[in-house]
């Protein structure tokens, strides 16, 4: 059985993340989406909110689980008894950082491999940061995120604005 972990911040989940999750769900027996609880970043959504959003938007995919984690991705992957770290590659700008991470993780845990899914072209420009910026100015974000995320993001922005 091949189990992959897809780690990230997911603040919030975009259609780009969903594309990777759907494709991974067809490729691996099990996929655990790992939501990073990073005390050095100050995300808009709490880790519980990000986990709940992901659970809701992946509920039609039976082999997807969502869990939060703290610390190093490789330790979480070991904890999940998984063999693969899955990451998305949007553009060449992602490449250098991702390569460095993958090679560091390889030294830390040689039995765990990093695999990349290249983004579908229609989502290549999408990032959680730009979606939050657009939402902050009250613009329509329905093309960027699943409807449930749009609802939660618009609610959140009402309180932030
Ligand atoms: P991180 O802080 O770990 O980069 P993100 O939530 O921004 O967390 O991203 C998690 C993973 O999803 C990363 O591998 C990232 O490259 C990938 N990703 C982000 N946006 C997209 C997108 N639009 N299409 C495909 N993959 C994406």
Q: Which of 22, 23, 55, 90 is catalytic?
A: 90
Q: What is the domain partition of the chain in residue ranges?
A: 3-160
In the chain (161 residues long), the average pLDDT of successive 10-residue segments reads 97 97 98 91 93 98 97 96 96 90 97 95 93 94 97 90 64
pTM over 0.75: yes
Ligand 1: atom nearest CA of 15 is 23
Architecture of the domain whose range is 3-160: 3-Layer(aba) Sandwich (3.40)
120 is catalytic: no
Strand order in the sheet with 84-89: 64-69, 30-36, 3-8, 84-89, 113-118
The answer to whether residue 41 is catalytic is yes
List, chain by chain if needed, residues with CB within 6 Å of any ligand 1 atom. 8-10, 14, 16-17, 19-20, 87-88, 90, 94, 119, 123, 126-128
Note the pLDDT of residue 161. 64
Positive/negative CA dihedral, 93, 5, 39, 75: negative
């Amino acid at each position: 059985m091949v189990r992959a972990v897809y780690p990230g911040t997911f603040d919030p989940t975009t259609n780009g993340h969903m594309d990777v999750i759907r494709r991974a769900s067809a490729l691996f027996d099990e996929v655990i989406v790992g939501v990073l609880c990073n005390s050095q970043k100050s995300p808009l959504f709490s880790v519980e909110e990000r986990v709940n959003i992901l659970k809701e938007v992946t509920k039609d995919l039976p082999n997807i689980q969502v869990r939060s984690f703290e610390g190093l991705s490789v330790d979480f992957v070991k904890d999940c008894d998984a063999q693969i770290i899955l990451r998305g590659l949007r553009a060449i700008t992602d490449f250098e950082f991702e390569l460095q991470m993958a090679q560091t993780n390889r030294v830390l845990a040689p039995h765990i491999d990093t695999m990349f899914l290249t983004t579908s072209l229609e989502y290549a420009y999408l990032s959680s940061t730009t979606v939050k910026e657009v939402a902050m100015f009250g613009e329509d974000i329905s093309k960027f995120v699943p409807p449930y995320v749009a609802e939660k993001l618009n609610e959140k922005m009402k309180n932030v604005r």
